[in-house]
Amino acid sequence: MNAPAENLRLIEDELDLVAELVPLAAARVIEIGCGAAQLARALVRRFAGATVTGLEVDERQHAKNLAAPAERITFVAGGAQAIPFADASFDLGIMLKSLHHVPLPLMAQGLAEAARVIRPGGHLYVSEPVYAGPFNDLVKLFNDEGVVRAAAQAALDAAIRGGAWRQAAEVRFMSRMNFRDFADFETRLMRPTYAEHRIDDAKLAEVRAAFMPHLTPEGAKFVRPNHVRLLERVA
C-alpha cells in the first residue's frame, strides 16, 4: 500500500537519494534526458572519479549544455530510443523525470537501449512525478500528463517482466517546487524549450487565476510526490 503523501519523506536534493541507493564514486553514469544537467554537474563535483554522459534530445538545451562544459561530463545529442554507445558502457543510468517524455511508441525501446548500454549488475534509476496533488492539479490545466505517466510505469513493469531488469528498490518521496512569481512559473513550466503547450490568452489567464492563490511574498511554494524505481540489470 502506498503511504499518504503527508507521511512521505521530503528530499531537498535528489542526488542524496541516488547516492543512498547506488555507489557513485568512480561510476560511469549516463543521464538519459539530462536537461540542464544540474544533477550531472553536482554528481561529478561530489563523487571522485565519477564520469557522466548527458544525453539530451532537445537541440536548444543541448546547445546550452555544450556552451557550459564541465570536467568529467560529456554532452551528447540523442534520444533514449537510440543511445549511441557500445554495450555495457555504463554502471548506472539515470532518468530524472524523463521517461514520461519519451514518445509512447518508443518507451519500450528506450528501456531496452538502457539495458543494452548498462553493464550486468549495473542499475537504472528512474524517477517520475506522481500524478496527484495540488501542483499536479495546476500543471494539468495546460499539460495533462496522466496518460504518459501511467505509460511510463507500465513500460517499466513490462521491461521487468521481459527479464532484462529486476527491481532492486522502490522509494516514494516529496520534493519542493518553488517559483518567484507567475512569470517564473510560466517560463519554466508553460513554455519549456522541449515542448509546445499551445498557450493562448484564455489558457494563460486560467492558469494564472489558479496559480495566484499559492503566491506569497516569498513566492509560490509547492511540494509534489515522486516515485523512484531502481532497476538492476540482469546478467
Q: What are the sequence ranges of the domains in the chain? A: 5-131+144-176+225-233
pLDDT(82) > 90: yes
Tally the C-alpha atoms within 13 A of residue 110's C-alpha that lie toward its C-beta. 27
pLDDT at res. 96: 97
Percent share of the chain, pLDDT over 90: 94
* SS3 at position 168: strand
Q: What are the pLDDT digits (tens) for 96-154?
A: 999 999 999 999 999 999 999 999 999 999 999 999 999 999 999 999 999 999 999 99
pLDDT grade, residue 5 (50/70/90)?
A: low
Closest-CA residue to 24 (of 168, 163, 125, 154): 125
Closest-CA residue to 176 (of 229, 143, 227, 135): 135
* Identity of residue 18: V
pLDDT grade, residue 192 (50/70/90)?
A: confident
pLDDT at res. 185: 98
pLDDT(85) > 70: yes
pLDDT(60) > 90: yes
pLDDT at res. 4: 58
pLDDT(2) > 60: no
| Chain-centroid distance, C-alpha 58 | 14
pLDDT(1) > 50: no
In the block, cell 523512484 appears at 228
Q: Which CATH number is associated with domain 5-131+144-176+225-233?
A: 3.40.50.150
pLDDT at res. 118: 98
Q: What are the pLDDT digits (tens) for 61-74?
A: 999 999 999 999 99
pTM summary value: 0.94
C-alpha cell at 49: 572519479
Average pLDDT over residues 33-58: 97
- CB–CB of 76/53 below 8 Å? yes
pLDDT at res. 12: 96
pLDDT at res. 107: 98
- CB–CB of 32/114 below 8 Å? yes
Q: What are the pLDDT digits (tens) for 197-225?
A: 899 999 999 999 999 999 999 999 999 99
Average pLDDT over residues 150-173: 98
Average pLDDT over residues 69-80: 97
Could you give the residue ranges of the DSSP H alpha helices within 31-188? Answer: 38-46, 59-66, 107-117, 134-139, 146-161, 182-185
Burial of 112: CB neighbours in 10 Å, binned 0-12, 13-18, 19+? middle
**Per-chain mean pLDDT for the chain:** 96
- CB–CB of 58/98 below 8 Å? no
